[in-house]
Chain A
Amino acid sequence: MPAPVAPSTARAFGPALRIIGVGFRREPRPLAVAVLGSFVYGVMTVFTARVIGHLVGTIVTPAVRVHQITSAQIWTIVWELGIVVLLNAIGVVCRRVGAGMAYYNLIAHYRRQVTRQYLRLPLAWHHRHPSGQLLSNANADVEATWSIFQPLPLALGVVVMLVVGVVEMLRIDVWLALIGVLVFPTLFAVNAVFRSKMSPRATRAQQLRGEVSEVAHESIEAALVVKAMGREEQETERFAERTNELRGAAIEVGRVMGIFEPVIDAIPTFGTLAVLAVGTARVQAGDLSAADVVQVAYLFALLAFPVRSFGWVLAGLPVTLVGWTRIDNVLSAQGSMAYGDRALPADGSGALSMRAVDFSYEGGGTSDLSSKDSASVGGAQVLHGVDLDLAGGSLTAVVGPTGSGKSTLTNVALRLVDPDSGEVLVDDVRLADVRRHGIPAAATLVSQETFLFDDTVRGNVTLGGPYDDADVDRALRIAQARDFVDALTDGLDTRVGERGATLSGGQRQRIALARAVIRSPHLLVLDDATSAVDPTVEVAILDGLRAEAQRRGSRSTTLVVAYRLSTISLADTVVYVERGRVVDTGTHAELMDRCAPYARIVSAYADDAQDRADAKAAAGQDVQPVDAR
């Protein structure tokens, strides 16, 4: 249709049609029902005017002339109009239910696809994308892409309606049809202009709406810090700034809408008036009857509103395109981890080796889903040539300053991330050669930041694995979680809430520990996994782990990131890491001897206590009176 389509809409047109094609292939049946229903609706809407015109001409006018009406005539009115009304209603039901089903099926399908992809893509990909963006991709972007299918069947029905309508007008009178041929394309063109003016403004308002929401989210998550530092006013200003921008943008949307809505309303009205004027002249010329004029006028009134659905579809095209681009970038994201076909030996002891492992986080911060994903280069290198050898059945402690790469090391050890270069072996099998899910079957991590599912305590410990309640019980006991779990209202069946919100940090850590213990892994990696637990409880946990290891014949390997001497002293080997390099490896005693920075960290508390005792002693000898010690 030749219409001044907006550049953005014009550019969106071709690609958006392809996306619509994807939708039709995915949900052919409901969409076919919707489109057919819409055709019926379109034809019947025109026929309403035709039947009314027909009835006025053949029944009403003669009846008025003879001042008499028969019941047969009344019945003709009822059944002729009744059929049209009924078919029209059926058409609407098919159209709207079909479109709704197609839409909801599509968004459900793509939500599954997108989240499958989240689960499949490697952690490195997740690190590149802010979690907020990923959530809105699975939610808002999927909806935005397919929302076009809500007005689309209606618009297709309206095409039929217009064609039939124009044919109908032609059948009645060429001159009146000419008015229709002028009015409806004008309406379409005005709609297109309207949308082209509207789209950028609506997009901007939508974007600001997102920003307002982001500020609110962040600020409310930070509520405790905001309160503790008395920054409520400052935060409110930050929020108000965005809110006021949104207000301005929304008013701009209103201004454009305010201009176009009345114009779009007025055009068919003027058309109707023109029909009346021209129609009267044609009646005078003896070419038309009053009923004909009325019918065409009625047709204009009926067609005016549905034609608007073109506007909705036009407005939807760019939205569909933007949404689809973002979904497609997730669905087509490459860089999945390649898996081999080997398994870790079932009777392995979890011996872990690393050879010249380098690892960097990608630079350039996070990337947006709207642009093609690029694994950027030149980020911060976190691990440099790390060599490590953990003998089967040994316990190794990794010690190092805050931010030295310890957590990254644990992630590499379980192949949660792949090193840039070098290799990692467990029981002499290269982790890169192990089949999918082969590593979790034999090696387990309890990370610093605990994650619990919105599930029961039992579900969080077993994660659907083949464990009975006795196993769960034993694991909870070793993790020192048994007592507080028993005290929960439903015991093992207590739901822990979103991310375990109903539990304390220490409780969450213990459940996460039980989750690892129950799997009796050959290789257990603990990354500061008891930081929120009291010292006394921690000692009990470590004792439990040791007893468990003995019970099973001590054929499992443990890697633990720790600062506490009690933990370190259990270790056969201590690895000291600084700035991503292994600085020294040996027993605790050896390192205390020859690795000064290690000794400084490990004995920091003791040294500090000593210094203070010395200072106090010195102060005691001081003749000067010292206030408040």
Chain B
Amino acid sequence: MSTSTEERSDTRTRHLGDTESLGTWAILRRGLTLSPELGRGFSITLALALVATLGQVLVPIAVQQTTDKGILAAGGPDVGLVLRLVIVVGLAVLLTSVASYAVNLRLFRSSESGLATLRIKGFRQIHDLSMLTQNAERRGSLVSRVTSDVDQISKFVQSSGLTLIISSAQILIATALMLFYSPELTGVVWVCFVPLFLLLRKFQARIGRAYLAVRERVGDMLGAVSESVVGATTIRAYGVEDRTAERIDVAVEAHRRAAITAQVRTVSAFVSGQVVAGVTTIAALGVGTILAAHGRLTIGELVAFLFLVNLFTQPVQTATENLNELQNAVAGWRRVIGLIDTPADVPDPGEGGVDLPPGPVRVQLQDVGFAYPGGAAVLHDIDLDITPGSRVAIVGETGSGKTTIGKLLTRLMDPLTGSVLLSGVDVRRIRFSSLRSRVVLVPQEGFLFDASLLENVRFARPGVSEDEVLLAFATLGLGDWLDGLPGGLATAVGQRGESLSAGERQLVALVRAYLTEPDLLLLDEATSAVDPATEVRIQRALERLAAGRTSIAIAHRLSTAEAADEVVVVDRGRIVQRGAHEELVADKGSVYARMHASWSAQSS
């Protein structure tokens, strides 16, 4: 792992796409294809939403009718008519309420189902991405693509999206009714609002920028806060609590300022809308009175019109707030789609592939070259043929490229040139289901889940019995260590295995590998933090396991090399020596002889 990360420092590109090129409509269309549930029955939902919206205009109509035909009726107030009217409108309101319930439920159902599908697709895609792509991203940003980004979309679809639809419908219906009552006044209303519509675009952009800044500051702040938790030991060992606190303060303050700026901009947009709405009401009342004075409008119509203005301005204002959510949702959607549409550059051949032929695995590398994206070549023309059933050690200094060879063999990455063959089959043609069950890599840091020891071991072979697990520990000579744990196999290992030491975590990873009984076992510095006696014991046990199987060990402890059938020495991306340990040591002045000399100086 140490070498891989060293090489990773050359890795600058190969980020996920965020589909910048796609416009908002294209994103929405693509989003609908990925979550078909969203589109299903949408026309019915939309129709119901329109019915629900009609409920909103019933009140102004009732007010107008009451005023003109009820209260101001020719023969004095007509209570009977108003009662009939009130009952009819009341029933209509009930109907629209039912429609509104149906809309809500349908929207929640379709959006939650659609977005659950999107989440799962995205999650699966993250695991299907090549290791290189995964490493090029911050883990947190990958996680957010299937969590907060999707939440953003669901928030939008369920509330703002519906609000936007209803608002638009309301604006249209209100306009239609206003036109019916008075085309002149409708003109006045629109003239007042056109400048606002134009201004809103500008506001939108400013608000969008402000929220972008807030999101960035949140990231910085969380990073700074996490140092006080993750770096707890180092901070205390060096007594730098105050310095860390200052760093946090700076990040927290930057976030506070950015958030307040965003809030002020949002409020100013909202209040502008409110002032325009007020001005519109004034204009409508003023002009309306003139029109009424000239007999072009009844008082009831004028009053109804004022209600309609309210009905018109309210959605315009809510729409401005919800357009923000739309932007956020589209940005979230963009990121999830960017993730899902990133081609997996190390794809599973799936149905079209073949299974790895049974029996011990022969490993061949032919003219293999590799460079990390944006970096210089780290492997040049590697040719290697490993006999089935043999034990091979790959050694070399940090940065020599030995770990890269391991990653190519297990197809965590594909070579740039040349090919890797397992038992004569190009590894790119082998189905993952076959490859991953028979070719197992044990990395330096075997990740442990926040669960019991037993569950962590079972990760490698679900359903394996407790007895088998105990036997595996005993066979690897780890029975004593296991007995020393407070809860035995039931011991909780904590987040990321935090409750165990680095060496102990490696022991668990080795038990996992042992239980999978692979035909090709690749250990990449898998025992680097384990004490020598335990390491030797494990090595012996693995050798017994590996009898008749192929095993490759990548290590800087040369004890591994001494025990191997064959040693492959890698130096600056090339294989410089091959052969049995004794032969290579005998070659005075060779890379291996030099490495061995410094190793011996350390270990004896």
Contact = CB atoms under 8 A, between A and B. Distances in A.
Nearest to B7: A504
Interface string B57-101: 011001100110011100011110011011001100110111011
A243 B562 contact: no
Nearest to A609: B562
Contacts of A126: 229, 232
Nearest to A507: B6
A394 interface: no
Nearest to A445: B237
A290 to B, nearest CB: 5
A402 to B, nearest CB: 4
Given A108-B256, A243-B119, A407-B501, A280 B77 contact: yes
A60 B139 contact: no
A515 B85 CA distance: 84
A298 B536 CA distance: 87
B260 A56 contact: no
Interface stretch (B18-26, B171-179, B273-281, B366-374): B273-281
A108 to B, nearest CB: 4
Interface in A358-399: 361, 363, 365-366, 379-380
Contact of A403 (B66, B147, B484): B484
A15 interface: no
A269 interface: yes
Interface stretch (B199-207, B328-336, B442-450, B468-476): B442-450
A69 B82 contact: no
Interface in A24-82: 52, 55-56, 59-61, 63-64, 66-69, 73-74, 77-78, 81-82
B464 interface: no
A453 B126 CA distance: 27
B253 interface: yes
A171 interface: no
B327 interface: no
Interface in B434-452: 435-437, 440-444, 446-447, 449-450
B405 to A, nearest CB: 15
A501 B536 CA distance: 32
Contacts of B168: none
A91 to B, nearest CB: 10
B241 A119 contact: yes
Interface string A586-629: 00000000000100111111111100100000000000000111
Contacts of B62: 272-273, 276
B342 interface: no
Given A138-B225, A254-B158, A224 B516 contact: no
B435 to A, nearest CB: 7
Interface residues of A, number: 184
Contacts of B63: 272, 276, 294, 297
Nearest to B267: A96
B264 interface: yes
B343 to A, nearest CB: 17
B89 A447 contact: no
Nearest to B234: A451
A279 B71 contact: yes
A222 B72 CA distance: 76
Interface stretch (A172-180, A227-235, A312-320): A227-235
Size category, B interface = 35 or more
A69 B228 contact: no
Given A135-B226, A262-B100, A240 B120 contact: yes
Nearest to A78: B282
B244 interface: yes
Interface in A87-117: 88-89, 92-93, 96-97, 100-101, 104-105, 107-108, 111-112, 115-116
B492 interface: yes
A448 B243 contact: no
Contacts of A262: 52, 96-98, 100-101, 104
A499 to B, nearest CB: 7
A287 B105 CA distance: 46
Interface in B569-604: 594-595, 598-599, 601-604
B199 to A, nearest CB: 15
B248 interface: yes
Interface in B142-187: 142-143, 146-148, 151, 154, 158
Contacts of B113: 247
B67 A402 contact: no
B112 interface: yes
Nearest to B289: A60
B5 interface: yes
Contacts of A531: 502, 528-529
A464 B243 contact: yes
Given A243-B120, A563-B532, A539 B302 contact: no
Interface string A102-145: 00110110011001101110010010001110110011000000
Contacts of A86: 275, 278
A402 B507 contact: yes
A449 B502 contact: yes
A101 B504 CA distance: 49
Contact of A536 (B278, B397, B443): B397
Contact of B235 (A119, A502, A600): A119
Contact of A69 (B4, B270, B289, B433): B289
Contacts of A8: none
A224 B443 contact: yes
Of B58, B485, B512, B599, most buried by chain A (CB within 10 Å of CB) is: B599
A618 to B, nearest CB: 16
B401 interface: no
Contacts of B224: 454
A274 B504 CA distance: 75
B481 interface: yes
Contact of B293 (A64, A305, A534): A64
Contacts of A366: 494
A216 B86 contact: no
Contacts of B428: none
B460 interface: yes
B455 to A, nearest CB: 12
A183 interface: no
Contact of A77 (B223, B234, B241, B282): B282
B54 interface: no
B109 A365 contact: no
Interface stretch (A341-349, A434-442, A468-476): A434-442
Contacts of B417: none
A254 B264 CA distance: 32
B263 A139 contact: no
Contacts of A269: 55, 58-59, 93
B352 interface: no
A277 B63 CA distance: 10
Contacts of A115: 225, 228, 245, 248
B193 interface: no
B307 interface: yes
Interface in A417-445: 436-437, 439-441, 444-445
A227 B411 CA distance: 10
B71 A290 contact: yes
B292 interface: yes
A14 interface: no
Given A118-B228, A220-B142, A440-B238, A63 B71 contact: no
Contacts of A294: 63, 67, 303
Which 5 pairs between the two chains have the least Cβ-Cβ distance? A230-B436, A254-B108, A85-B278, A440-B239, A258-B104
Given A135-B229, A629-B565, 19 more contacts: A56-B302, A134-B229, A223-B127, A232-B432, A234-B462, A250-B108, A258-B108, A266-B94, A269-B58, A273-B93, A401-B531, A499-B230, A504-B9, A535-B599, A579-B484, A606-B604, A608-B539, A609-B559, A628-B387
19 contacts: A60-B285, A82-B278, A100-B267, A104-B260, A111-B221, A126-B232, A134-B229, A139-B225, A228-B443, A258-B102, A280-B78, A284-B77, A297-B59, A402-B507, A440-B238, A444-B237, A503-B5, A504-B4, A534-B398
